[in-house]
Structure 1
């Protein structure tokens, strides 16, 4: 089974039908807790002498299958799922870092992530330097003695900048720190950051992997390729006070991070994914390959059409021949550039808001990756809390509309956009 291709793994990995009563579909294990065989069995589970199910905040059979599938399709050694993408990101940082540590991050981020790094984590003594990812040398220049991670989005939301993951991974490796990549917009179908040197991959499962707009979820995939014993991460090499002196790196080897994330991140911060949502997300993962390629095809055609509209000032989509990131897209996203398109209207901020108010098929809401087409005006919503300078750094201009192109007939989408432009 280890030699199966990605599309097959998305349908089969982690599910042994002989262990689930012959069920072809993954069952929903809607339970909070699990009966132990006896007190010795319970003690062994809590003492990490054997693996098993203790409490659904830590693990669950439905979630376990989703985790194994995500690890398989991303090429990792293990995964942990969370209640949301934001929970996955915050739990990763709070498990990995401590007060006094430092992060170097690309400046083109989802607004919620930017605020986590810029506002919330500094309250815990963890600070971030934001750099322009177009110039890879800025990552090295921002490295400090206490830097313990580099964080990027593989395809920035909503800037749609394609990052040179391989070059940034080389910077991380040279400084003995992990590269953490949010791969939500690209998805594992279109891009596997681990192939280019990433150490940890994060997803908001709410978006393309779930794909239906029904369920929140997040995931962290561990590549198992980082040396936690290099001297910069004593929490992995010194005895753990929470687990009777356990030394994570020594005891767990390549899965040290993902186990620590589960044992501390889920145990202490509690951002557990519900089994029902895990089930829903599994359904989405099974059709991801088909959907994301059609999303990408539709987005490219729609972006091309937008460039021909008189009311449009500019269009950004990495698949367009003239786009700034087209060459990087050919390297990292040759099978499609996902379903997000950004467009700037000549009428500026007010015109963008009016268009959003008058669209009929495009739904005005704060999400991406649905089968239905969506739009939003980031300057007044998702990135409203950022300063104007930070908005512009993230690629959010006043006239920008972010479009998540769905699976509808493109002629209907074009006609809807035409009428909204006239309005």
Structure 2
């Protein structure tokens, strides 16, 4: 980071500078890639202190690495968090949060509209490990409150829902969480901190699949967990990994030793040292490079997505489009409140010809790639009902706007004229 500024740095500046500095050993301005699994200790005492959490430092790259730490600092700064823990994938980030917060017999409230992989993970954790998700009927704050039970340990939602693009009322859901003394966990992948910063609206934990907008290139897999640092873990008395002694760390109580980063520290100890889904230094470096252009990319993503959604909404072969930043769309007021720049670049579109038309539309695209990822600089299309959300029941697919007639689009940074031309020619070819 540059020398201390007389005022806080703006978001675009943080995206370029936060978490990094010229390398003191060589003067290199780009963040070095530390491709090493271990680090030499200065003494026996230092090694013992690092492993006992009495001192900070690098020991083994599964738990921490200088390149990965730079990414953690940058994303924490962009999200307004106290600390972050980078992991091997977004799925690992969700798993790590749930396992750190809960033990067998506990429950949590989750939005019923989530990425299909998250829903699949939650159901597997319930049947195998007794972590019970209570899914909401809708996305209103009252729906979350109605699902809370004495066993509830957290509330989980997405800031922008994958894949329908609905923007959640984060402040309203956070108020429910506070009334019940529960942490609010928000998956901010589809928004990125360039569009929405959930901590500013009351979130306690923010997760990302860094494989999407944060890196933007479609070349890496990664995830990250951000700790807002303000939840009263000790006051709740419900989270044993955070508030009870760890015998293998000489009785360390994480919330006492690390009061502002208790959740992140517990995630690192349990998630990285015990479970082991560490992020590679190379993937961290590539993601760091991607974050430098995040504000510029998100501006173009939103502008392109709005134009494509408007074109599709008015096309005679389209039944509906679920992009809330369009005038008159469902959820328009909430989207304008939380994401005034635009509701991201991911949305669904339903073809009047049903599933056959949806599948033919995808295969007829020439510029837009038929690919399962989202949030890349290249535009992408997928049929969620048979891929990413295939495990949902028919009624769940309808509620999530991923019925058989539905295509999910991830709009990239190409020229808008070329994107619309590609979509138009594919639609024109439909019978």
Normalising by the smaller structure, the TM-score range is over 0.9
Q: 1-side partners of 2:207 and 2:311: how far apart?
A: 32
Per the TM alignment, residue 133 of structure 1 is displaced from its structure 2 partner at its CA by 3.8
Equivalent residue runs for 1:10-21 within 5 Å: 10-21=15-26
Per the TM alignment, residue 18 of structure 1 is displaced from its structure 2 partner at its CA by 4.8
- The corresponding residue for 1:105 is 110
Q: 2-side partners of 1:369 and 1:237: how far apart?
A: 37
Per the TM alignment, residue 254 of structure 1 is displaced from its structure 2 partner at its CA by 1.4
- The corresponding residue for 1:175 is 180
On the 8 A contact 1:97/1:126 being kept in 2, the answer is yes
- The runs of 5 or more residues in structure 2 that have no matched partner are none
Deviation by residue 1:269-308 (Cα, 9 ceiling, x = unmatched): 1111100000000111000000011000010011111122
Per the TM alignment, residue 19 of structure 1 is displaced from its structure 2 partner at its CA by 2.8
On the 8 A contact 2:205/2:225 being kept in 1, the answer is yes
- The corresponding residue for 1:226 is 231
Equivalent residue runs for 1:10-89 within 5 Å: 10-89=15-94
CA RMSD of superposed structures (Å): 1.2
Name the stretch that deviates more: 368-377 or 382-391. 382-391
Q: 1-side partners of 2:139 and 2:103: how far apart?
A: 29
Deviation by residue 1:206-237 (Cα, 9 ceiling, x = unmatched): 00111010000100100001000122223322
> TM-score scaled to structure 1, two decimals?
0.98
Q: 1-side partners of 2:133 and 2:250: how far apart?
A: 33
- The corresponding residue for 1:212 is 217
Per the TM alignment, residue 22 of structure 1 is displaced from its structure 2 partner at its CA by 1.2
Q: 3-state SS of the aligned residue for 1:170?
A: helix
Q: 2-side partners of 1:205 and 1:273: how far apart?
A: 11
- The runs of 5 or more residues in structure 1 that have no matched partner are none
Equivalent residue runs for 1:361-400 within 5 Å: 361-400=367-406
On the 8 A contact 2:368/2:378 being kept in 1, the answer is yes
Distance 1:368 1:18, change over 3 A: closer
Q: 2-side partners of 1:317 and 1:270: how far apart?
A: 38
- The corresponding residue for 2:345 is 339
Name the stretch that deviates more: 214-223 or 402-411. 402-411
- The corresponding residue for 1:348 is 354
Q: Is 1:192 the equivalent of 2:169?
A: no
Per the TM alignment, residue 336 of structure 1 is displaced from its structure 2 partner at its CA by 2.2
On the 8 A contact 2:100/2:241 being kept in 1, the answer is no
Distance 1:167 1:20, change over 3 A: farther
On the 8 A contact 1:133/1:163 being kept in 2, the answer is no
Name the stretch that deviates more: 182-191 or 245-254. 245-254
Equivalent residue runs for 1:244-393 within 5 Å: 244-393=250-399
Q: 2-side partners of 1:76 and 1:251: how far apart?
A: 18
On the 8 A contact 2:166/2:322 being kept in 1, the answer is no
On the 8 A contact 1:78/1:222 being kept in 2, the answer is yes
Q: 2-side partners of 1:42 and 1:256: how far apart?
A: 22
Per the TM alignment, residue 116 of structure 1 is displaced from its structure 2 partner at its CA by 0.9
Name the stretch that deviates more: 61-70 or 337-346. 337-346
Runs of 4+ in structure 1 deviating by more than 3 angstroms, as ranges, are: none
